[in-house]
Structure 1
Amino acid sequence: MEQQQGADVFFLLVGAILVFAMHGGFAFLEVGTVRHKNQVNALVKILVDFAISTTVYFAIGYTLSYGITFFAAAQTISAGQGYELVKFFFLATFAAAVPAIISGGIAERARFLPQCAATALMVGLAYPLIEGTVWNRNFGLQDHLFASILGAPFKDFAGSIVVHAFGGWAAFAAIRQLGPRIGRYDRSRPMSPPPSSIPWLAMGSWLLCIGWFGFNVMSAQNLRAESGLVAINSLMAMCGGILAALLAGRNDPGFVHNGALAGLVAICAGSDVMHPIGAFLTGAIAGGLFVTMFQVSTNKWRIDDVLGVWALHGLCGLWGGIACGIFGLAALGGMGGVTFQSQLVGSVLGAAFGFVAGTIVYWVVHSAFGLRLSPDEERRGADISIHKISANPEDDVRLGRL
């Protein structure tokens, strides 16, 4: 028994470390996408957001989700070889992904400390409500609405809705609150600043892809529930997303590397119930959806979403929750135990809650502190305006820019 418990602790600890490494992926994906004058800000935001998220999740969020608190003696909270502590670590890395997602959407124009305040509110109060509802059956929705009325509990194995759709739709609300960057839509044709570094963007994507196998596979949370199906489905969805984005994006490297992430976002919900062919199709649809909707939303609808997080996480996450109710059906080669209507309703409700939570939190923060950089600060760049240093300070000193 102790040996099994110790193995579960180690298993989940490896998963927590892998998902923690994904935050480096979030950072470098943003570093490579934003302009050079905002690279330092991208790095600092992701790290500080992680620290704030973990702190408020420890103090408030985890208790709201699971009814467990760690304000007791170390001997008490480390019972069972500390499994509950490692579970907290694992799930804290999920919670911290929400502000990391939002960060990419509102990059280059958000003030630092107000954004930190928004992170605390999102992770400490808003995110635990959807997490506890779906993964801990809080409020009775899983039993009374989904299982009794819609035929099966709402399934989100690794967070297509709980993490990605929630974060993506909250980001959409924050983007609307902030408005576009200066000069983005001043001309008849939208002006899209080019990425500062394709290699850093690609590195961010690779880090996220590698860590995602901890995000999905270790969501079983113990060795007895582990299944190789989750790993192969994640792999196939990632490949489907890459190939679809390659075709839809006409070889654009930014779309290709984000296509991998689109496929992985979409497969989270149903990775333990789909057939690998269904997973590939889920990822491929997500890859095409991301490319199409990123172009439509930023160019035609003039939604200045710097990293395309609404299309990538909000829409592909929403699709992933629904896709679980299609390709997870036994009739289509899946494991069954899901219904289309349950997945459709749960996915839409989860996305809508993300938008409502984001609207409230970012309106409150903007009203209280002011969320946006001044025009002069934005033109100067967040690195110098906020952190008083650029990504290459030695070069700036040598050339007389500082």
Structure 2
Amino acid sequence: MQAALSGGDVFFVLMGAVMVLAMHAGFAFLEVGTVRRKNQVNALVKIIADFGVSTLAYFFVGYWIAYGVSFLHGADTLIRGDNGYGLVKFFFLLTFAAAIPAIISGGIAERARFYPQMLATALLVGLVYPFYEGIVWNAHFGIQAWLKGLFGAQFHDFAGSVVVHAMGGWIALMAVRHLGPRRGRFGKDGAVHAIPPSNIPFLALGSWILVVGWFGFNVMSAQRLEAALGLVALNSLMAMVGGLLAALVMGRNDPGFVHNGALAGLVAICAGSDLVHPLGALAIGAVAGTLFVYVFELQQYRWRIDDVLGVWPLHGVAGVWGGLAAGIFGQQVLGGRGGVSIMSQLLGTLLGVLIAALAGYIVYGLIQRLIGLRLSQEQEYDGADLSMHKISAYPEEDTSRSR
């Protein structure tokens, strides 16, 4: 019976890992559809290369920092006693860690050099992300115990609104600030020049892949078959719908806002998906979709921050809202399950933002200063595809035109 239970847990978490792994295709196609044609190949290569670097950084360093687990043992030792559950748990949590550079990639698209970004990925996934992950999900440094003693509950982030999404979004904001805007995006006279997406169907495809995979991201965060909750699935659905409908209205039917609004709702529900009532999830998603549209327009048109995919409003801002919303809508008076503190949510969220912003500023600042982070003017004009990968997304079509 124990072997059957262990095998069930292995399969459950493995399916979650595969679903979140598939989300990286969603990140890739969301970026492919948003950037210009001359940068589509780079978007695809960046996401998969970042995943490879993330795997090594997390396997050798990051997972040990977060959980104190090393894989430098014999294979028999690694699977002994639990059918290798610890190995698929690593795989599952790796897909979360690798989401950090995938998020950042969308913000810095079209002007960042390839290998400096790979270096940043190794540092962030190997050192920065697991440092905060260990605090929240493995009770490092006694911070969770301190919050529980002071406010009656630990900081609660069931599936990573703050640990994954806010962390990635706020690091991306620092990277974008170091890089500066794409050439031609903002005029000296204060004008904002539109750079339209290259392919709306690819953008929509990326969003749909992410939406489907997100149910593995959230539901399988229980990490044990017996702990899985149908409430998490329904709350994820309701938050997604709330986000997309709010963005539909606020974004005046813009397809980019609609498809990203659904993702904003899912980002926000991660933290409290196991706590809140489905109507609370709907409200959380609606606020997240509204915030995304409002902050994206402020960021692009008033603050003149060229965050290509809007990853800071989508992941950074909606992630912060999700951390706070778990403390608000998780209260029993609002239909939640209770056991959560608004003050613990506030302080835990602020800690994540502080670590992410400081680390992003330092890591990308040092890389920019020491080896350079940005493409040259000529490379940016030609596009990252030809400059870095020596091939375009449509080589046969381009060859035909040149004839």
Tell me which interval the TM-score lies in, with the shorter structure as reference length.
over 0.9
Q: Distance in 2 between matches of 1:299 and 1:41?
A: 26
Superposed CA offset, 1:150-193 (max 9, x none): 22100000000000000000000000010001011125320120
Separation in structure 1 between the aligned mates of residue 88 and residue 277 of structure 2, nearest angstrom: 30
* Aligned-partner Cα distance in 2 for 1:354–1:117: 17
Q: What does 1:56-71 align with in structure 2 at a 5 Å threshold?
A: 56-71=57-72
State the one-letter code of the partner of 2:398. D
Tell me the equivalent position of 1:366.
368
Whole-angstrom CA distance in 1 between matches of 2:397 and 2:126: 40
Cα shift at 1:365? 1.3
How many positions carry a matched residue from both structures?
400
CA distance in 1, matches of 2:401, 2:144: 61
1:40-97: per-residue Cα shift (whole Å, max 9, x none)?
0000000000000011100000000000000010111122111000000000000000
2:258 corresponds, among 256, 259, 266, to 256
Map residues 387-398 of structure 1 onto 2, 5 A cutoff: 387-398=389-400
- Aligned twin of 1:338: 340
Return the alpha-carbon distance in structure 2 between the equivalents of residues 367 and 58 of structure 1: 28
User: What stretches of structure 2 of length at least 5 have no aligned partner?
Assistant: none
Letter in 2 for 1:292: Y
Q: 3-state SS of the aligned residue for 1:399?
A: helix
The answer as to 2:271 corresponding to 1:282 is: no
Alignment of 1:46-57 (within 5 A): 46-57=47-58
2:239 to 234, 237, 240: 237
Identical counterparts, % of pairs: 63
Partner amino acid for 1:36?
A: R
Aligned to 2:356: 354
Cross-structure match for 1:189: 191
2:68, 2:148 → 1: CA distance? Answer: 23
* 1:106 match: 108
Q: Which moved more, 1:83-92 or 1:149-158?
A: 149-158
Q: How does 1:81-100 map to 2 (within 5 A)?
A: 81-100=83-102
Query: In the aligned structure 1, how far is the partner of 2:150 from the partner of 2:233?
Result: 32
Secondary structure, counterpart of 2:190 in structure 1: coil
- Calculate the aligned-residue CA RMSD, in Å: 0.8
Name the structure 1 match of 2:205: 203
Show the counterpart of 2:6.
5
Q: CA deviation at 1:367?
A: 1.6
Structure 2 length normalisation: TM-score? 0.98
Give the superposition deviation at 1:366: 1.2
Match of 1:321 among 297, 320, 323: 323
Task: Using structure 1 for the length normalisation, give the TM-score.
Answer: 0.99
- In the alignment, the residues of structure 1 paired with residue 328 and residue 272 of structure 2 have an alpha-carbon distance, to the nearest angstrom, of 9
Quote the residue 1:380 is aligned against: 382
The 5 A counterparts of 1:166-185 are 166-185=167-186
CA distance in 2 between partners of 1:376 and 1:246 (Å): 38
Q: Give distance in 1, aligned partners of 2:125 and 2:265.
A: 25
Aligned 1:305-316 pairs, distance under 5 A = 305-316=307-318
| Structure 2 residue 26 is matched with structure 1 residue 32 | no
SS of structure 1 residue aligned to 2:111: coil
SS in 2 for 1:156: coil
Task: Report the alpha carbon displacement of residue 376 of structure 1 after superposing the two structures with TM.
Answer: 0.7
The answer for unaligned runs of 5 or more in structure 1 is none
Mean Cα displacement is larger for which, 181-190 or 135-144? 181-190
- Deviation of the 1:111 alpha carbon: 0.2
